[in-house]
Amino acid sequence: MVHPSLPYARAARHRAARALTTLGSAHPRALRLLAIAAGAAARAWDHGHRVADTHPAPFHWRRRKEPLPTLYELYMAADRAHRAHHAVCGRCTADHPDCPAGRQLHDEFVQRQDAYLAAQKKRRP
């Protein structure tokens, strides 16, 4: 069941993304909307929604014919998401996630980093 916090979190994410695109990442309004989006995502998480629910893959990604992202691209995307979160969270730091959304983003970053490094190790005997 979709808790009302999920559509709110998605809308907050859209507003923040639009502000980041039009105003730039240093603009106070963009940073405020990003902080609101982070809080909304945390509330959605508290109601059982995962980060992927707030950030569904765009339709064109799900149907695209190009190859799937590489492990490195996934690792870097997780790194960017993790950094963007702790830059605005107020509770989390780079090495110490301190909120549910921050912990999930940190865990995804660590898992993708481990997967990438394990694949690199396999390639170099």
> Does the protein bind Zn ion through residue 109 (CB under 5 A)?
no
Q: Which helix (H) or strand (E) is 34 found in, with range?
A: helix 28-46
Q: Are 50 and 100 in contact (CB under 8 A)?
A: no
Stretch that binds Zn ion, among 22-30, 67-75, 102-110, 116-124 (CB under 5 A): 102-110
With respect to Zn ion, which residue has the nearer C-beta, 19 or 92?
Answer: 92
Say whether residue 51 binds Zn ion (CB under 5 A).
no
Q: Which stretch binds Zn ion (CB under 5 A): 16-24, 47-55, 87-95, 111-119?
A: 87-95
| 99: contact with Zn ion by CB under 5 A | yes
116 binds Zn ion (CB under 5 A): no
State how far the Cα of 94 lies from the Cα of 96, in Å rounded to an integer: 6
Q: Is 89 in the site for Zn ion (CB under 5 A)?
A: yes
Query: With CB under 5 A as the contact rule, which of the stretches 15-23, 46-54, 58-66, 96-104 interacts with Zn ion?
Result: 96-104
Size of the residue set binding Zn ion (CB under 5 A): 5
Q: Which residue is nearest to Zn ion (CB)?
A: 102
Site residues (vs Zn ion, CB under 5 A): 89, 91-92, 99, 102
